């Protein structure tokens, strides 16, 4: 089967759409994520808060959970969208979860066209992994 080409622009659009689906009544801080798997599929995620605040799941982890549940574990690119002046960067917990699935491009955006290009390894240097050889 032919693999469809997914452009950064398409992925950015998906992340902004996902941001608009955020369930964030407590922080009012909406985050959207769009994750492109190496198989060519796009998985989205948004932050889902809870009245027991610690149970909140971030957009990035929600996208990873969706992708792994859909059978994908290798990725080309993650876009994270926030409606902030400067695009927001993934929290420490999300960085650790991203590292679990290797190194890939990460693009941070806002809906007004601001864009920061980075990567998992740049966001999380000297990361902890269990399965490194001794």
Residues acting as catalytic residues:
60
Integer-rounded Cα radius of gyration of the chain: 14
Part in contact with ligand THU (CB under 6 A); list of ranges 36-44, 65-73, 90-98, 126-134: 90-98
Query: Binding residue for ligand THU (CB under 6 A) from 34, 35, 36, 59?
Result: 59
**Binding ligand THU by CB under 6 A: which of 18, 19, 58, 106?**
58
State yes or no: residue 115 binds ligand THU (CB under 6 A): no
Task: Answer left, alpha or beta for residue 41, where phi above 0 means left and psi between -120 and 50 means alpha.
Answer: beta
Contact between 44 and ligand THU per CB under 6 A: no
Task: Find out whether 4 and 40 touch, Cβ atoms under 8 Å.
Answer: yes
Q: Show the site string, 1-40: x = touches ligand THU by CB under 6 A, - = not.
A: -----------------------x--x-x-x---------
CB-based contact 42:36 (threshold 8 Å): yes
Closer residue to ligand THU, CB minimum distance, 4 or 78: 78
Say whether 131 sits in a helix, a strand or coil.
coil
Q: Exposure string (b/e) for 38-59, b if CB count within 10 Å is 16 or more?
A: eeebbbbbbbbbeeeeeebbbb
Interacting residue ranges for ligand THU, rule: CB under 6 A: 24, 27, 29, 31, 47, 49, 56, 58-60, 90-91, 94
């Amino acid at each position: 089967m032919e693999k469809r080409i997914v452009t950064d622009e398409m992925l950015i659009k998906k992340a902004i759409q996902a941001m608009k689906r955020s369930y964030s009544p407590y922080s009012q801080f909406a985050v959207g994520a769009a994750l492109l798997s190496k198989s060519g599929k796009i998985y989205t995620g948004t932050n889902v808060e809870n009245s027991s605040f610690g149970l909140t799941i971030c957009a990035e982890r929600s996208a990873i959970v969706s992708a792994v549940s859909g059978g994908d574990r290798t990725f080309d690119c993650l876009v994270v969208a926030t409606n902030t002046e400067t695009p927001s960067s993934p929290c420490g917990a999300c960085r650790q979860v991203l590292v679990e699935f290797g190194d890939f491009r990460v693009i941070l955006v806002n809906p007004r066209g601001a864009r920061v290009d980075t990567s998992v390894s740049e966001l999380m240097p000297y990361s902890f992994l269990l399965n490194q050889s001794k």
